[in-house]
């Protein structure tokens, strides 16, 4: 297996750095090939701007999707972005590792998504018809590959429980799991989340490291989150609303887009 | 009223730029004082790193929360961050304006949050006791001030409807409205969201501009989203889980943290 781990923590000598070493070591011990994109170490440019599209005329108005699509087609994106796209095509498994800051990714990783996910590469792919609204949410450039998150959190697990004040961790990570990973085609595995990382002692670390090793050992066989395919018949086109007869009655929000029937079947 | 508008779009001659002008003009016409933080124009640094804490020893391990708290207390944060904190304290109303990229803020705005929201300023505020878990979610440095989002979206409104494939816009914006605005104390107004902005013609723009003007006219009186206060008795301490008797039976996810009883009362 070929694994790309995108690492977004500013301190190599951190819990995140130690967990990265654990993950990479375990994957390599199982014979997998691992590459790491260490965004801070590489000085990754976070903000999309005109400099991302070197062939744009100076007085041209920047429309990001259009400029991105033209540059992608022409092979004229910047070298840092092209290198990341090549790694994504090379890998059959993607891991994004980051500390949860303000209920989302650190800016540097958001900027990796904003810049690497070019139009024509990660979105704007596929045709639109009466039954098909582009290749996305289960289809797309990265279909057939697996992806998962490794996330560290300062707060307590109960604060992110189904009734916890922050909202459930599944919902907090939905815009990433569903919106960033599933969108361009990845099969998305349940995230690995470590809580209360600011107060972790040696024993706590050993436990978390063991759990992470187990996740790395089973990365090829772990059951994915059963998100519904956009073009698989569950959604009306072009409104892209879930058909009225689907989903638990009264269910709402992100949970509707997980096919609980499939979860049930898997559990049998 | 004193309004700070934080603007996060790379192109001044854009729909976002035009909507910003509409909002600022309407607010100023009503006698409000408006300041704008144009993150791209100011070359805002997006990524938190060691350079944010100039007084750190070179060989010291970077722990972001700790370094942030020490620098905040010592008045030793960087000048760009201090200037933004001063603007937040000056303003009684905050507007964050941005295009929705990958179901969240552009990296440059996430980096504004990551850097400006220092420990001791936006988090790590207040005491912990048996009934009180710090000043946050309804209390904190920015309590008593109002905040709202102005968001532009490429997709269709139905794609972000309660059963739309992206998930409901309220839930997509929850980590920002609840996690970034409500957390340090802001009273959060419903967001202003414009859809299908890539295909908008003159008539469409006039309509959206009119709706935005109306929102700016009523910004002092608009009913906020009735999020539940963390320390108001609805949550158990320290688990911070919503008390079992609260929330619609069977409800789950982010919606639990909106007090529908209060919505009902407001509507009467």
Task: State pLDDT tens for residues B36-56.
Answer: 999 999 999 999 999 999 999
Cβ-defined contact of B171 to A254 (cutoff 8 Å): yes
**pLDDT per position as a tens digit, B177-198:** 999 999 999 999 999 999 999 8
Residue B265 has pLDDT above 80, yes or no: no
**3-class SS string, A208-254:** HHHHHHHHHHCCCCCCCCCECCHHHHHECCCCCEECCCCCCCCCCHH
Three-state DSSP state, B79: helix
Q: Classify residue A267: in a domain, yes or no.
A: no
**pLDDT per position as a tens digit, A161-220:** 999 999 999 999 999 999 999 999 999 999 999 999 988 999 999 999 999 999 999 999
Q: Classify residue A18: in a domain, yes or no.
A: yes
Residue among A102, A154, A158 whose CB faces B180 most closely: A102
Contacts of A110 in chain B (CB under 8 A): 102, 104-107, 110
Please tell me the distance from the alpha carbon of residue B247 to that of residue B252, in angstroms, as a whole number: 9
Closest residue in A to B227 (Cα–Cα): A165
Per-residue pLDDT at A268: 38
Q: Classify residue B125: in a domain, yes or no.
A: yes
User: Total domain count for chain B?
Assistant: 1
Size of interface A-B (CB pairs under 8 A): 222
What domain range includes position A69?
Answer: 2-222
Residue A266 has pLDDT above 60, yes or no: no
Query: Would you call A239 an interface residue with chain B, using a CB distance cutoff of 8 Å?
Result: yes
Cβ-defined contact of A102 to B111 (cutoff 8 Å): no
A47-106 residues touching B, CB cutoff 8 A: 47-50, 61-65, 99, 101-106
Q: Classify residue B233: in a domain, yes or no.
A: no
End-to-end CA distance of chain A: 28
Q: Classify residue A247: in a domain, yes or no.
A: no
Give alpha helix (H) positions in B39-122: 64-73, 79-90, 107-116
Q: Positive or negative CA dihedral for B119, B120, B126, B130?
A: positive
Q: Are A95 and A148 in contact (CB under 8 A)?
A: yes
Per-residue pLDDT at B251: 73
* Sequence-distant (≥ 6) Cβ neighbours of residue B208 within 8 angstroms: B19, B194, B200
Q: How many Å lie between the alpha carbon of A239 and the closest alpha carbon of chain B?
A: 5
Out of A111-115, B166-170, B257-261, pick the least confident: B257-261
Q: How many Å lie between the alpha carbon of B31 and the closest alpha carbon of chain A?
A: 32
**pLDDT per position as a tens digit, B111-156:** 999 999 999 999 999 999 999 999 999 999 999 999 999 999 999 9
Query: Would you call A110 an interface residue with chain B, using a CB distance cutoff of 8 Å?
Result: yes
Give alpha helix (H) positions in chain A: 15-29, 64-73, 79-90, 107-116, 169-176, 202-217, 260-267
The CATH number of whichever domain residue A28 belongs to comes to 3.40.50.360
- Measured at the alpha carbon of residue A158, what is the angle toward residues A155 and A159, in degrees to the nearest 5? 50
Cβ-defined contact of A101 to B111 (cutoff 8 Å): no
Nearest to B251 by CA among A163, A67, A239, A258: A163
A151-166 mean pLDDT: 96
Q: Classify residue A251: in a domain, yes or no.
A: no
Q: What is the pTM of this model?
A: 0.97
Per-residue pLDDT at B250: 66
B240-246 mean pLDDT: 95
DSSP designation for A110:
H
Q: Positive or negative CA dihedral for B154, A115, A47, B56?
A: positive
Query: Would you call B267 an interface residue with chain A, using a CB distance cutoff of 8 Å?
Result: no
Residue A264 has pLDDT above 60, yes or no: no
Residue B248 has pLDDT above 80, yes or no: no
* Sequence-distant (≥ 6) Cβ neighbours of residue A189 within 8 angstroms: A146, A147, A148, A219, A222, A223, A224, A225
Cβ-defined contact of B48 to A107 (cutoff 8 Å): yes
Cβ-defined contact of A11 to B253 (cutoff 8 Å): no
Contacts of A159 in chain B (CB under 8 A): 239-240
Q: Are B7 and B36 in contact (CB under 8 A)?
A: yes
Q: Classify residue A190: in a domain, yes or no.
A: yes
Q: Classify residue A121: in a domain, yes or no.
A: yes
């Amino acid at each position: 297996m070929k694994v790309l781990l995108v690492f977004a923590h500013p301190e190599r000598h951190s819990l995140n750095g130690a967990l990265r070493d654990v993950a990479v070591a375990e994957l390599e011990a199982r014979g997998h090939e691992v590459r790491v994109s260490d965004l801070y170490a590489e000085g990754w440019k976070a903000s999309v701007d005109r400099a991302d599209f070197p062939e744009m005329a100076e007085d041209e108005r920047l429309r990001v999707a259009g400029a991105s699509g033209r540059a992608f087609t022409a092979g004229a994106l910047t070298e840092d972005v092209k290198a990341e796209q090549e790694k994504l095509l090379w890998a059959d498994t993607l891991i994004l590792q980051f500390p949860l800051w303000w209920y989302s990714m650190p800016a540097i990783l958001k900027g990796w998504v904003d810049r690497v996910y070019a139009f024509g590469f990660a979105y704007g792919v596929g045709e639109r018809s009466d039954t098909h609204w582009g290749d996305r949410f289960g289809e797309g450039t990265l279909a057939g590959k697996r992806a998962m998150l490794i996330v560290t959190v300062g707060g307590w697990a109960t604060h992110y429980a189904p009734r916890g004040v922050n909202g459930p961790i599944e919902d907090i990570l939905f815009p990433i799991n569903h919106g960033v990973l599933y969108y361009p085609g990845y099969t998305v595995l349940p995230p690995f989340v470590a809580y209360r990382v600011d107060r972790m002692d040696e024993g706590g670390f050993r436990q978390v490291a063991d759990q992470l090793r187990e996740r790395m050992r089973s990365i090829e066989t772990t059951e994915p989150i059963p998100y519904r395919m956009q073009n698989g018949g569950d959604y009306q086109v072009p409104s892209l609303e879930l058909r009225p007869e689907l989903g638990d009655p009264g269910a709402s929000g992100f949970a509707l887009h997980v096919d609980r029937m499939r979860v049930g079947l898997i559990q049998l």
